[in-house]
Amino acid sequence: MNKSMIDLIYLVPLLPLIGFFITGLFGKKQKSEALIGGIASAAVGGAFVVTALIFMTLVGHGSEERSHIVRLFTWMQAGSFTIDVSYQVDQLSILYTLIITGIGTLIHIYSIGYMHGDKSFPRFFAYLNLFIFMMLNLVLASNFLLTFLGWEGVGLCSYLLIGFWYERKFDGSFIVWTGDAAKKAFIVNRIGDFGVLVAMFLMYNQFHTLDYTAVNAQAAAGFQPGATLITTITLLLFLGCTGKSAQIPLGVWLPDAMAGPTPVSALIHAATMVTAGIFLIARNATMFALSPTTMAVVAGIGVATALTAALVGLVQNDIKKVLAYSTVSQLGFMFIALGVGAFTAGVFHVMTHAFFKALLFLGSGSVIHGMHEEQDIQKMGGLKKYMPITYKTFFIGTLAIAGIFPFAGFFSKDEILWNAFSQGHWVLWAVAVIAAFCTAFYMFRLLYLTFGGKERFDHHHIHPHESPKTMTFPLIVLAFLSVVGGFLGIPYALSIGGSIPNLLEHWLEPIFAPAMEILRRPEVHEVHAIEYGLMAASLMIAILGILLARSYYKNASDQPQAMANRFSGIYKLLWRKWMLDEVYQYFIVDVFYTISNGFLWKIFDVKIVDGVVNGTARSIASASELLRKIQSGIAQNYAIMMMVGIVAILVWLGLGT
Amino acid sequence: MEQDFLLSAPITFLSIMATILMVVDALIKKSSKITFTLSWLTLGITGVLAAWTLKHNGTAFNGMITVGSFGAFFDILFCMGALLTLIAARPYMQRENLEHDEFHSLILFAVSGMMIMAHANSLLILFIGIEIMSVCFYILSGYMRSSVRSVEASLKYFLLGAFATGFLVYGMALIYGATGSFDYNQIFMAAQHELRFPSLMMIGIGLLLIGLSFKAAAFPFHQWAPDVYQGAPTVVTAFMSTAGKIAAFSAFMPIVAIVSPADTEMKIQIILAIISAATMLVGNISALTQTNIKRMLAYSSVAHAGYLMMGLVAISAHHARGVSGILYYLSAYLFMQLGAFVIVSILERSGEKNLEIEDYAGLSKRHPVLAALMTIFMLSLAGIPPFAGFFGKYYLFTAAIESGYTWLTIIAVISSIISVYFYIGLIVKMYFTEPNESGESTQQLPGIASITLAVSAVAVVFLGLMPAGLLDVIKLLFGN
């Protein structure tokens, strides 16, 4: 166990890439689903094993020696501009890699059961492997450009997988086909990517490098906090984060991304890809810390998203859409953490959220599978006796996301709330608590409507059944992680006088040290009374939400409709997701369409561009005709032409000599 | 002395063999099979001999010729061009009933002239080389005695060629007057110092440029080329427009290099740049409206002379990239232009039929392989990656930019864009239009000409995919 172990990092992205080629190239001919799914899962599983070994190696090192750059080869070179394919193996990237490959493996295994019998079975696994490869490049890269490659790559895979069932209809805002949902996700993300690109141009212009370490070190050395350039760069980067991590104003694509198969929603649109925005900020914590403005924007956007998405979640009836809004809301929590400078808390929530949200999505997939593709929770109910394992694990996941002690979500969410409060951001804290209350409410509403109460489905056509072992096994593993995951980050207040270490904070701390230095954060471990109080308060609020949901939905099956009638105004607004899609459609998409169609195409392209092009072509053609006439075929004329040339040359040479 | 003979072996061997071939012709009736075999063997051996001398770098026979290196590189190109032409010519000549025995020896004599041009280290030797090659070309272009057009081409070529040779010789005389020597090295030395008659030198250089521009078919001395290339038998055109042009540049490059020190006011350089720009524009624009494919390719070959002259401009600006750029481009040009003409020769029917671009409509259905190969050659000629023509243009354009001739490069790019129209136009014709009624329906097999096509196509693709290989060789031979 030494340095050479760390050099094996190249295997981590390589194995899924090989898996992609095998399943992609040879999968179609192969009849055995078990073999294809096995190869794809083994590729990711192998990557997980290697990552785990590297993790052990790093644990054996001192905390200052855990950051390594593994250079593989030069990707491109032009003049002084060099970009290497090199991986930065450190605490942050290894944590992300463990999550991606670990949960990735489970979801691959789950997919073997879920996708059983699909005619494009190998294509699905090829895309999944490719996604893992791209995602690993995103988090392991040691420079912006390689991350950007992964960033775009996961966007591509997301597009391919949302539209995986491209022949199916999908009912979304201004969307008819799953392909439309895929396009929406891709295009909305392009807006964010534009921000990242411009940020990279600015950084290269300023620092002449795109290496994370160098850029952050130079930024810290060369700029005072609040410098305009750094604010611009970080805001542009954050624009990219709002796209990838589905925050206001670019978050509209995520709910429609549920058009993809459920394992995709779990892997890409809950556990991994959507947390890329958090990764990008955490990776550049130093630079973000230099800009108070950006930090305020990040926290503000985060809390606004957390609340608005949670409110939308209250009224949705599609099991996956509830979870989608819950994901958006939880990502908002992570951005709150980053915005108040609690980077560790943000990454902690990424991890716990990955556990319980993957669990919930896979659970919903199991429900959908058992209900023969039914997704409307109004048409479910009473499923717990048919699908006991799914129910139990889903229940654990719901407790975790609601923030009930001692499940994983409690610790991470509470740390975020405590950080917001202790830094003096009362408003942030208060709004986040309301969002947390809504979360508890809509999650238990979902739980009761799905598994509890009367059976509202048609018994003649639907026979709910428990899912196969390949699907329940990942559920059990993830449920276990959702229970114990939180103990990795036990807050100091609950550590019995510091005798239980906060493992995660310990692990991540050196990464964020420079950023913390800039933020000059005072240590606030002393005031435990307040912390205990806040913890109790947030726990009470969560329980309140649960009880409220219970009283409404435990047995009453007609409640969604009754609620809709009672609060018809606000209900409609929430049902239509704050009309954001409508606003975008009428003020942006339609305007663009009108300009493109009426002016850019019919006038600019047809008249001006084509006019110039055709005009040039015509004048060259007439020049050609002219030259043709000069070429008379008579030798004497040619000789005259030569003489003209000779005289011209000799006169020119003779002049002045 | 022994060393001299040994190192000049490629030239002497080829010349002797050409003479023997002529005698064999005269003594044996129906000797075409024998002469064909002998001539391709000769060319092959000469190529090997040239490759063997490639690493030497010096002069022989009292500094009259250079041996190895530069000349040897060109020897290989000439032999390759002649060999590929001979192979492609055999089925063509048989079909056209042109297989008179002296054809092979004429080709060999032309090659010996070219080699002398490339090896020349003295203006006198250069003149001898040019004349040997030209006389062979005059005869070869009129080889189709029954065709009025062929005879007319021959006569036109001869008349205008003689006219241009006059200026060439006069230029040599003036340079001798100004420097007192025919020897390249002496002229180079003299040009570096203050000359007693600088105007004599400048006019001499000017006349020399005119003569060489005629051989290279550069504007405004290019007008013979379309007529001659169209009138001559297609395989002869293939040979003249490739090996002939390469020979012209093999003579042009050292001349530009040795006189450039005298060009203190950059006048020569500017003339070269203007000729280059005008040549490519006129060549490409003229090609646009051609309906005859040989004529279109002839104008395209004029345009390529324009691109190549960009390299001469760079040489005249003392930029070494000019040399490697031209050498690479010529190698690429040999295969792509030859390949295109050979396809034309395969599809041609007696009586100069099937030579209109219209006749190529729907070729992809009748001759899918020929159409595909033609597409490769056209794309390469248009300079589209990944084919050899792209990198050729790239190196020449870079050389021009680095020599400070950005405007010339802009013109080159514009004229390249114009050229895409007619190159791609032919592809469109072959693939996207229906064959017309009168189109030839009988399948004509290319016979051994397919060897030429295969070699050319592979070379065009290979040089395009791995340009570094040839460039390394060039670098090894000539430094940078």
* HSE toward the beta carbon, residue B162, CA cutoff 13 A: 8
Name residue B356's beta-bridge partners.
B292
pLDDT of residue A2: 58
Where is A556: in which H helix or E strand?
A: none
pLDDT band at A525 (very low <50, low <70, confident <90, very high): low
Residue A523 pLDDT > 70, yes or no? no
Judged against a pLDDT cut of 90, whether residue A242 lies above it is answered with yes
The answer on A599 and A488 residing in a single domain is no
**Angle of helix A559-566 relative to helix A528-553, nearest 10 degrees?**
110
Check residues A126 and A78 and name the one with the higher pLDDT: A126
pLDDT per position as a tens digit, A599-612: 888 888 888 888 88
Structure tokens at A654: 């003779």
Q: Mean pLDDT lowest for which of A94-108, A584-598, B299-313?
A: A584-598
The 10s digit of each residue's pLDDT in A419-471 is 898 888 889 999 999 999 999 999 999 999 899 888 888 888 888 888 899 89
Q: Is residue A242 part of a domain?
A: no
Chain centre distance of CA B198: 33
Residues A507 and A596 in one domain: no
The token pair at A83 is: 């970009």
User: Which among A627, A645, A654 has CB closest to B203?
Assistant: A654
The answer to whether the CB of B342 falls within 8 A of the CB of B87 is no
A67 band by pLDDT with thresholds 50, 70 and 90? confident
The answer to the question of residue A630 being in a domain is yes
**Residue A440 within any structural domain of the chain:** yes
Single residue among A521, A543, A577 that ends a domain in this structure: A577
% of residues, chain A, pLDDT over 70: 96
Instruction: Give tens-digit pLDDT for A573-588.
Output: 887 778 788 888 888 8
Domain boundary among A577, A611, A640: A577
B198, B210, B214 member nearest A657 (Cβ): B198
Q: Does the pLDDT of residue B340 top 60, yes or no?
A: yes
Q: Is A641 on the interface with B (CB under 8 A)?
A: yes
Query: CA-CA distance, A112 to B403, in Å (whole number)?
Result: 63
Give per-residue pLDDT as tens, B438-467: 555 555 667 888 899 999 999 999 888 888
Q: Is residue A236 part of a domain?
A: no
- Residues A199-229 have pLDDT tens digits of 999 999 999 999 999 999 999 998 988 899 9
Q: Is residue A139 part of a domain?
A: yes
Q: What is the pLDDT of residues A355-381, one digit of tens each?
A: 999 999 999 999 998 888 888 888 888
Quick check: B472 pLDDT over 90?
A: no
| One domain for residues A555 and A594 | no
**Same-domain check for residues A423 and A368:** yes
For the stretch A276-315, what's the b/e string if a residue is b when 16 or more beta carbons lie within 10 angstroms of its beta carbon? bbbbbbbbbbbbbbbbeebbebbbbbbbbbbbbbbbbbbb
ipTM of this complex: 0.87
Among the partner residues A628, A645, A653, nearest to B221 by beta-carbon distance: A645
Say if A234 falls within a structural domain. no
Say if A647 is an interface residue toward chain B (CB within 8 Å). no
Residues 6+ apart with CB under 8 A from B447: B90, B91
pLDDT, residue A158, reads: 95
Contact A202, A236 (CB under 8 A): yes
Q: Tell me what pLDDT residue A240 has.
A: 95
Does the pLDDT at position B418 exceed 80? Answer: yes
Contact state of A639 with B163 under an 8 Å Cβ cutoff: yes
Residue B331 · residue B325 · CB < 8 Å: no
- Residue in B199, B206, B223 nearest the CB of A641: B223
How high does pLDDT run on average in chain B? Answer: 89
pLDDT digits (tens, 9 = 90+) for A185-195: 999 999 999 99
Grouping H, G, I as helix, E, B as strand and the rest as coil, residue A336 is helix
- Look up residue A655 and give its two tokens: 């002049």
User: Which pLDDT value is given to residue B480?
Assistant: 47
User: Exposure pattern of A56-79 as b/e (b: 16+ CB <10 Å)?
Assistant: ebbeeeebeebbbbbeeeeeeeee
Per-residue b or e along A389-418, where b marks 16 or more CB atoms closer than 10 Å to that residue's CB: bbbbbbbbbbbbbbbbbebbbbbbbbbbbb
Q: Is A496 exposed, middle or buried (0-12, 13-18, 19+ CB in 10 A)?
A: exposed
Is pLDDT above 70 for B200? yes
A101, pLDDT greater than 50:
yes
Beta-carbon contacts of A276 under 8 Å, excluding residues fewer than 6 positions away, are A135, A138, A139, A151, A154, A241, A244, A245
Domain edge (last residue) among A577, A599, A626: A577
- Structure tokens that stand for B245 in this block: 């042009």
* Shortest CA distance from B156: residue in chain A: A635
Q: How many angstroms separate the CA atoms of A383 and B467, rounded? A: 68
A47 and A72 share a domain?
yes
Whole-structure pTM over 0.90, yes or no? no
Q: Are A398 and A444 a contacting pair, CB within 8 Å?
A: yes
Cβ <8 Å between A642 and B163: yes
Q: Is the pLDDT of residue A1 over 50?
A: no
Residue numbers in A near B156 (CB within 8 A): 635, 638
Instruction: Note the pLDDT of residue A606.
Output: 85
Residue in chain A lying closest to B171 (CA): A650
Most A CBs within 10 Å, among B208, B219, B267, B281, to test the A interface: B267
Residues A134 and A260 in one domain: yes
Q: Is residue A397 located within the same domain as residue A281?
A: no
CA distance readout (Å), B169 to A473, B137, B139, B187: 94, 19, 22, 16
Q: How far is CA A570 from CA A172, A549, A552, A579, B124, in A?
A: 20, 18, 18, 11, 100
Average pLDDT over residues B60-86: 91
- Running DSSP on this structure, what letter comes out for residue A522? P
Q: How far is CA A565 from the centre of its chain?
A: 35
Q: Is residue A556 part of a domain?
A: yes
Q: Which domain holds residue A508?
A: 291-577
Residue A232 lies in a domain: no
**Does A499 share its domain with A446?**
yes
Could you tell me if A558 and A471 lie in one domain? yes
> What pLDDT score does A576 carry?
79
A437 and A521 belong to one structural domain: yes
Indicate whether A320 and A452 sit together in one domain.
Answer: yes
Contact B289 A638 (CB under 8 A): no
Q: Are A419 and A334 in contact (CB under 8 A)?
A: no
C-alpha to C-alpha distance for A278 and A468, rounded to whole angstroms? 34
Indicate if A487 and A519 belong to the same structural domain: yes
Which of A148, A166, A147, A160 has its CA nearest to residue A186? Answer: A160
Contact A439, A326 (CB under 8 A): yes
Per residue in B137-196, pLDDT tens?
A: 999 998 888 888 889 999 999 999 999 999 999 999 999 999 989 999 999 998 888 888
- The count of structural domains within chain A is 3
